[in-house]
Amino acid sequence: MSKNEETDPYRIPTKHNIRTAMHWLVQGCQAGDSLVFHFSGHGSQQKNYTGDEIDGFDETLCPVDFEAQGMIVDDEINATMVKPLPHGVKLHAIIDACHSGTMLDLPFLCRMNRNGRYAWEDHSPQSGKSKGTNGGEVISFSGCDDDQSAIDTPALSKGTSTGAMTFSFIQAIERGNATTYGDILTSMRTTIQEVATDVGGDAVTSLLSMLLNGGSLGAIKQEPQLTANVPFDVYTKRFSL
């Protein structure tokens, strides 16, 4: 939801409102609860100075007022929604934004190649600091790798401009390609690859990416990612919200 589409001041995606929503989502959760967090918007990166990021950068969400209030850093997202989750609680995050690969700062990333082979990459900080939960389960689908940009395009929906990751996630479910987590990830990547040669990102998305990240206009690579608090077999674990 954009600022211009929402009239309720408490539902406009400002930094304060997003923070409040994250706290509300996990507050009072108990065994048997299944939570979903979806963000579709702009993401960025900033230099990490604590040494707990493999690539040296923290990932960030950009609220509508980020120029005045600042961005929401992955460390805060992890501390707010990941660490408190008790045993028996499940959280799925769907993050459609640039640089969103490890937006929840989860310790494991599923590194999958074009042939569907994968290995879990350990992103745990060398300091030994925990990025996991208090016994709960967290799985995140994100629009792209940490060093990639995510696109909005009308090429997928054949109509209004749509987040490629969000569209491909919905398509995977509607087309029956959501039996396992591996099925979903493969389906999402296939859907996006089908239009990748024709789409380089719309002018607004490309320009914002350039301004935020010091990049240059041009073709945008995008490969959806899967991260989790614990590794699992993506082709046998059944997807369930």
Q: What is the pLDDT of residues 100-113, one digit of tens each?
A: 999 999 999 999 99
In a domain, residue 43? The reply is yes
Per-residue pLDDT, averaged over 216-231, amounts to: 79
Beta bridge partner(s), residue 43: 61
Reported as a pLDDT band with limits 50, 70 and 90, residue 153 is low
3-state SS class at 119? strand
Per-residue pLDDT, averaged over 208-220, amounts to: 44
SS3 of 148-179: CCCCEEHHHHCCCCEEHHHHHHHHHHHCCCCC
Reported as a pLDDT band with limits 50, 70 and 90, residue 208 is very low
Reported as a pLDDT band with limits 50, 70 and 90, residue 116 is very high
In a domain, residue 212? The reply is yes
| pLDDT at residue 206 tops 60 | no
Cα distance between the two ends of the chain: 22
In a domain, residue 237? The reply is no
Q: State the total domains in the chain.
A: 1
Q: Is 62 a catalytic residue?
A: no
Residue 91 has phi, psi (to 5 degrees) of -125, 125
Reported as a pLDDT band with limits 50, 70 and 90, residue 155 is low
Q: What is the CATH number of the domain that holds 148?
A: 3.40.50.12660
| pLDDT at residue 77 tops 80 | yes
| pLDDT at residue 235 tops 90 | yes
Instruction: List the catalytic residue out of 23, 29, 38, 42.
Output: 42
DSSP secondary structure letter of residue 76: H
Q: Is 98 a catalytic residue?
A: yes
Q: Exposure pattern of 127-157 as b/e (b: 16+ CB <10 Å)?
A: eeeebbbeebbbbbbbbbbbebbbbbbebbe
Instruction: List the catalytic residue out of 29, 62, 98, 144.
Output: 98
Full strand arrangement of the beta sheet holding 57-62: 42-47, 57-62, 72-73
When computed from its CA atoms, the radius of gyration of the chain, rounded to whole angstroms, is 17
In a domain, residue 3? The reply is no
Q: Residue 131: CB partners within 8 Å, gap ≥ 6?
A: 52, 78, 82, 105, 106, 107, 123, 124, 125, 229
Percent of the chain with pLDDT over 70: 83
**Host domain of residue 214:** 15-112+119-228
In a domain, residue 163? The reply is yes
In a domain, residue 233? The reply is no
